[in-house]
Copies of this chain bind each other. A is one copy, B any other.
């Protein structure tokens, strides 16, 4: 029997409810979508008491199947104004499920005495005032909480940037080593959590118990099939464990889709210094705390994460990922991996998303505030992140706000959120996802880089994107990592076996497809009431008119095709 934790921050009241019968098949992103539509007025102020802050585990969380412990954090986004689900790895989803909860739903707003800690045990949860933690950075907060509650905890923490109410603010979750390193980065959900009056959620992991399985034998044999899939898929067995996501620098540079100089070129001459091969060589060469093949979730066989060390071998930041490298490297014309690591470290500690920050810096460079390629000047600015200065605030207000204040036309956002490190003129299916995802520009909402279609043709991309978006809607609801999806491929019978063995259901692949579609439907329904329509399902105009070197493509998927995504 699973439960929902309902927290009212206005009255400081916590209730435990059994997951209603008709909601039993809802997890992660789909659960967030349904809760938002039922409980949150779509026009509400994202940082007000009417918004909800939701932490939801995927349906397979807590089991021992590889790569299926993803966490969904949700609410109305102060960055986008849309519904938002921000997905992360780490141990929180697993811990939450093992404590007996499907999700935490936080309403209201603390009036005084905060910020608070929400401490979750197997028997329930309580709110503890922690004014001493107000304004503390994430890493020191994590250490203090470990001292206070013992080492065996998982935590979700908001940093100073979120406490300042800024749109580019994240929620940091524990990884398997107790680091606050797995980020719900996008859409400003850190500010939503802080606006509720929460500084951290503490999950007392040692009280956790294995989640029950209805059909042990089926689950066991299916997990074996998963292992085999992962072991026989080159990406999941060889590429990602060695290079993680970073080899995408080389891939995108080859495709001419590597955002360079604020999305004005698709290839970067310094790509080698910031790419996967260089990252691997640096980590293994420096040794010490450095690690490739680091699992973000315990038991993950894909292990795409890493620990990046200082030159002296001490730990610098974990993980250093493609999106961060791309948007803080080529996008700024900076080919210095240590620069990216330091910015990443500061963003993690103060609680800002590296992707939005990289894009914001790109817009600031375009606006003439600093020169492209000037790593020293960029780092000087980034040191203001989390400080209550005008620059500190503007840096964490998102690329779109920076663009308005600086009079910059070329702002790579959709629905207020910056694109990931793929120029959509070079991977047009991903451009369709950026344009039409209810989440704003978001690569994880429907990645198409491995789809078997000419990436530069306009025709048919809408269908590739739609399928990818449905697939990801489903994976984000069951808690499966998108790389896990690469190993599984079209074998959704396997996924059904896992879910049916876990819960005793009778799902068929079509039900999973329907789950993915339902995610998009409920998210679009919320957005529609919040004021989003076809005119918002478009890329920024400059990408429709400016050819992207070296292949000189524009984004030319027709509006008719883009509008097909609304008919799910």
Contacts and interface: CB of A to CB of B under 8 A. Distances in A.
Interface of A: 42-45, 47-48, 50, 164-167, 191, 369, 390-391, 393-394, 397-398, 401, 404-409, 529-536, 538, 541-542
Contacts of A542: 45
A230 to B, nearest CB: 43
From A391, A394, A408, A532, residue with most partner B Cβ within 10 Å: A394
Nearest to A534: B531
21 contacts: A43-B538, A43-B541, A44-B541, A45-B409, A45-B541, A47-B407, A48-B541, A165-B406, A165-B408, A166-B405, A166-B407, A390-B390, A393-B406, A394-B394, A397-B404, A398-B404, A401-B405, A530-B535, A531-B532, A531-B534, A531-B536
A164 B47 contact: no
A47 B403 CA distance: 12
B541 A535 contact: no
Contact of A401 (B43, B404, B530): B404
Contacts of A393: 405-407
A165 B408 CA distance: 8
Contact of A48 (B409, B531, B538): B409
Q: Main secondary structure on chain A at its contact with chain B?
A: loop
A51 to B, nearest CB: 11
Nearest to A540: B45
Contacts of A535: 42-43, 529-531
Contacts of A44: 541
**6 shortest A-B CB distances, which residue pairs?**
A165-B407, A531-B535, A397-B405, A393-B405, A401-B404, A390-B390
Nearest to A401: B404
A50, A406, A534 — most chain B CB neighbours (10 Å): A406
Contact of A47 (B42, B48, B409, B530): B409
Contact of A404 (B167, B408, B531): B167
A530 B44 CA distance: 22
Contacts of A165: 406-408
Contacts of A50: 541
A417 to B, nearest CB: 13
Contacts of A391: 390
Contacts of A191: 407
Contacts of A532: 531
A165 B4 CA distance: 50
A165 B406 CA distance: 8
A157 B186 CA distance: 42
Nearest to A165: B407
Contacts of A409: 45, 47-48
A479 to B, nearest CB: 32
A41 to B, nearest CB: 9
Contacts of A48: 409, 541
Count chain B CB atoms within 10 A of each CB in A47, A48, A398, A535 and give the residue with the most. A535
A342 B164 CA distance: 33
